[in-house]
Amino acid sequence: MSFYSKMSAAELERELLDLNQKYSKFKGMNLSLNMARGKPSPEQLELSADMLKNLEYSQLFRPESKINAGNYGELTGIFEAKKFFADILEVSPNLVIVGGNSSLNLMYNYVAMAMQFGILGNTPWNKLEKVKFLCPVPGYDRHFAICELFNIEMINIDMDESGPKMDRVKKIVESDPAVKGIWCVPKYSNPTGITYSDSVVRQFAALKPAAKDFRILWDNAYVVHHLSDKHDILLNIFDECKKNESEDMVIEFCSTSKITFAGGGISALAGSAANIDDITKIMSKQTIGYDKINQLRHCIFFPSVEKLRNHMSAHAKILKPKFDLVIENLEKQIKPLGIGDWTNPNGGYFISFNSLEGCGKRIYELCKGAGVVLTNIGATYPYGLDPKNKNIRIAPTFPSTDELKMAMDVFCLCVKIASVESLISKKKDTE
């Protein structure tokens, strides 16, 4: 095998013929495989099976706090659940609000609140002519979808292995008062899997935004989601903010969706005392309270940080071979041809693959044609627009190893076809 880019037009044409023959075979197999969603596998869900039955009726009443988790009250969550998340996020329990099954919903609510009511007495964003958010790319489509729904203008910020390009972030945030927020997945980022460096976190904490109500939405979705014993370390942004008296600038989110059950987890938000007060005030009109019984189940299931650590190791044991399989296939099938690059993360749920420029959508279509569903091309960018049409988010967690092996064979073949097609067409253009 040699780099496709070094092949002649004739060699490429021959290669394409050969690849297309292989593709036909896959097509004939009527596959139905999916590498699109960052979804836990059934084996992972089973790790939490005991949580379904770990609660006695008598345990609903908590003598220490004198509350009954089965009844009304404790709007912002039971203390034990605040403590559970506080330990994970390394913050004080009284700076935590515990939510329902979806941390995305806590994020949505926060943005919706800022739009409608304003943050800490500032003008509601609805009343401003223009609101802008910075979006490190590639990123998480659900974040972008919230901005799009509220007609918040999104500005792409490129990322490297240390995190977002902070010189650009600083320049924009500190000069433009219409910039009200930035979406961050600081650890095992979705989709690149990188973790923000200490320097990046410190630069975030040291920002002096032009807008008083600028907020860093710190979606720590993969805070304990390591793939092996090799852990990335993320600085505690609140500790850094303290040094800059900028604690009000950060709202942190996380959930147990990929710890216990994606369909029945609990979520949390952490912030400064002022922000927690601000949110709680609105929350007291929004809801009677989230499910405290499920909060209690989680606390009983994880009596200690050590139990959580062991639980996440068990997840890793299931996930690591799948990530390895993807990486090995890319190393073996793609690397020698010089038609793509990818990340090899220590945690999280994704591998971010970059094809040759302009090949993303073709790869997606080819895969689809052979029965392999990928994340939509562009999903990792605001407005669904990948400017280079090359980023593909690979989600290896849900399929079985056998399915994944097959899916990766299809994927690598489709990358080759799209690359050869593109190179041929370029050669024709330059002739």
Q: How near is the Cβ of 56 to its own copies at its closest, in Å?
A: 7
3 state SS of 108: helix
Q: Is 261 in the site for its own copies (CB under 8 A)?
A: yes
Scanning residues 292 to 351, which ones bind its own copies (CB under 8 A)? 292-294
Contact region with its own copies (CB under 8 A), list: 27-35, 36-44, 230-238, 410-418? 36-44
Q: Is 280 in the site for its own copies (CB under 8 A)?
A: no
Q: How far apart are CA 276 and CA 267, in angstroms?
A: 15
x/- map, 117-156, its own copies, by CB under 8 A: x--------x---------------x--xx--xx------
Q: Is 397 in the site for its own copies (CB under 8 A)?
A: no
Work out which of 65, 287, 313, 400 binds its own copies, going by CB under 8 A. Answer: 287
Q: Is 110 in the site for its own copies (CB under 8 A)?
A: no
Contact region with its own copies (CB under 8 A), list: 23-31, 46-54, 371-379, 388-396? 46-54
Q: How far apart are CA 146 and CA 153, in angstroms?
A: 11
Q: Is 45 in the site for its own copies (CB under 8 A)?
A: yes
Q: Is 376 in the site for its own copies (CB under 8 A)?
A: no
Contact region with its own copies (CB under 8 A), list: 87-95, 110-118, 164-172, 411-419? 110-118
Work out which of 1, 2, 5, 61 binds its own copies, going by CB under 8 A. Answer: 61
Give CA separation, 188 vs 185, 351, 419, in Å: 7, 10, 28
Of 25, 97, 64, whose CA–CA distance to 280 is shortest?
Answer: 97
Q: Is 62 in the site for its own copies (CB under 8 A)?
A: no
Q: Is 108 in the site for its own copies (CB under 8 A)?
A: yes
DSSP letters spanning 173-209: HHH-TTEEEEEE--SS-TTT-----HHHHHHHHT---
Number of Cβ within 10 Å of residue 331's Cβ equals 12
Question: Which residues are CB-contacts of 358 (< 8 A; sequence separation ≥ 6)?
Answer: 388, 389, 390, 422
Work out which of 92, 116, 199, 400 binds its own copies, going by CB under 8 A. Answer: 116
Q: How far apart are CA 221 and CA 225, in angstroms?
A: 8
Total length of the chain:
431
Contact region with its own copies (CB under 8 A), list: 40-48, 163-171, 321-329, 419-427? 40-48
3-state helix, strand, coil in the chain (%, to 5): 50, 15, 35
Task: Report CA dihedral (100, 105, 107, 111) to the nearest 10 degrees.
Answer: -130
Of 232, 225, 412, whose CA–CA distance to 326 is shortest?
Answer: 412
Scanning residues 163 to 222, which ones bind its own copies (CB under 8 A)? none
> Applying CB under 8 A, which residues contact its own copies?
37, 39-40, 42, 45-46, 48-49, 52-53, 55-57, 60-61, 68-74, 100-102, 104-105, 108, 112, 115-117, 126, 142, 145-146, 149-150, 257, 261-265, 282, 285-294
